[in-house]
Amino acid sequence: MIVAAALPLVAEHGAAVTTGQIARAAGIGEGTIFRVFTDKDELLDACTAEAMNPDHVLRELASIPLDDPLAARLIQAAEALHAHLERMGTVIGALHASGHRRERTSADRPAPGSRQASMKATRDAVTELIEPDRAVLRLEPEKIAAVFLGMLSIRSGLASHEAEASPDELVDILLHGTLAASGSPA
């Protein structure tokens, strides 16, 4: 509850957010925060962990109907994944920009493989969305999922939003390429 209330404030104010602001947003007394977290840094670390937690986006991906057309499934997946990447970037960027650079110890670091496990779970969820169309695809659904996720991560990293492909355009490029017509010279 505290982290959920803190996330939008951290995204807006970074490390400059006060525990008083967080307590008001959570509808609790400020002292309650310090019964749950040892200090503000621990709360900010919990916010970072929550922003990076893939559970929400994995639930969204799992809720996409497999009987929708492939392009529609992938557009919904692109929108959900883009929103997840934006949330992560906003929270981490706000903390970094406001000077939150806590020195980490080995005890603070995520368990080995947790990032890889998160990436595998995401790739598996996207693969599951592609799987119903396996018979009409030139590549294995796993490869298509990897390319799709790569395209999304590059899209999210672009500085200029003018050149950024929309989810519809990204899926169209993935499924049909960039040539205007199938007979066009490559």
Q: What is the pLDDT of residue 126?
A: 98
With b for 16 or more beta-carbon neighbours within 10 A and e for fewer, the 123-160 pattern comes to: eebbbbbbeebeeeeeeebeebbbebbebbeebeeeee
Domain coordinates in residue numbering, the chain: 1-52, 53-100+108-174
Q: What is the pTM of this model?
A: 0.79
User: Which residue in the block uniquely carries the two structure tokens 């492939």?
Assistant: 70
CATH superfamily of 1-52: Homeodomain-like (1.10.10.60)
Cα angle for residues 10, 14, 16 (degrees, 5° grid): 110
Per-residue pLDDT of the chain (186 residues; tens, 9 = 90+): 999 999 999 999 999 999 999 999 999 999 999 999 999 999 999 999 999 899 999 999 999 999 999 999 999 999 999 999 899 889 999 998 888 876 554 445 555 557 788 899 999 999 999 999 999 999 999 999 999 999 988 765 555 566 778 899 999 999 998 888 766 565
